[in-house]
Structures are given as structure tokens and as C-alpha cells.
Structure 1
Amino acid sequence: AFRQKLLEWMSHRVHLVYLSAYSPELNLIEILWRQIKYRWLPLTAYRDFATLCSEVIKVLSNYGSEYRITFD
């Protein structure tokens, strides 16, 4: 039934794009978390859980003003 429907969709110029089960580059929150983890958090943020939480909150609170994602 799916294959028949697929042929019908293709006749209407509708094409399916198959994605891998894990596609972090297509998920916007993954892009943000990667920036936070690798660019904006200082190494000292990983000292303990409380420090990590406060540093993440600081980054998220200043996102858009102090912290921005640019695609250059």
C-alpha cells in the first residue's frame, strides 16, 4: 500500500526524503547546545553540578544579547 501511495505522490511531484534516525544538524536545539557546550561555557563550569547549572542559566539568560549564533 505504501509503495502504491509513493507512486501516486511522485506523480504529483511529492518526493520523500529519508533522514537518518539521528540528524542533530537538522534539529535547532542541537545547534544551540553545541554552541553552549563547546564555545560559551568555560571549563570551570564543569567543576560541579551546581556550577554547571548556574553557568548554563547565565548563558541562556543572555542568549540574544551577549550570546548569538551566527552562520558565517
Structure 2
Amino acid sequence: MTALIVANQTVIADAGRPKLLLHANPGAVIGPAEVAWCREKGAALTIIDLGPGTHFLPEDQPAAIAAALTQWLS
């Protein structure tokens, strides 16, 4: 488990690999502390707050997810 966490942190810090983090409030898996860590440590990382949402964001914010992906990919 530790190796997986370290590998994920390495990817987040990699400036050569663009990444997108979508999160919601209050969220279920990615809370304020995790978003703050990603803002501090993330390189080439775009972070988008989708608004209200909990565990299953595609049900809570489908239009916001589509808009965020469209914007990020363009």
C-alpha cells in the first residue's frame, strides 16, 4: 500500500505530465486537506472545483464534469 501511495505522489509531482483533478464539496474521497496537498505539491496539475457533490460525482455533477473535461482538453 505504501508503494502505491508513493507512486501516486510521484505522478502528482511530475511536471512533465499534465493532470486534472476534479473535486466537489464536501466530497467523499478527496476532501479539503487532499486538495490543499495537491495544490502545494502538484506540478502541471489543474484543479477544478465542481461545486456540490459527495461520493458519486457523475450523478451529482455530470454537466460540470463534461465542461471541465472539454475546457481542460482544449
Normalised by the length of structure 2, the TM-score is 0.30
Give the structure with the higher percent helix. 1
Give the structure with the higher percent strand. 2
Normalised by the length of structure 1, the TM-score is 0.31
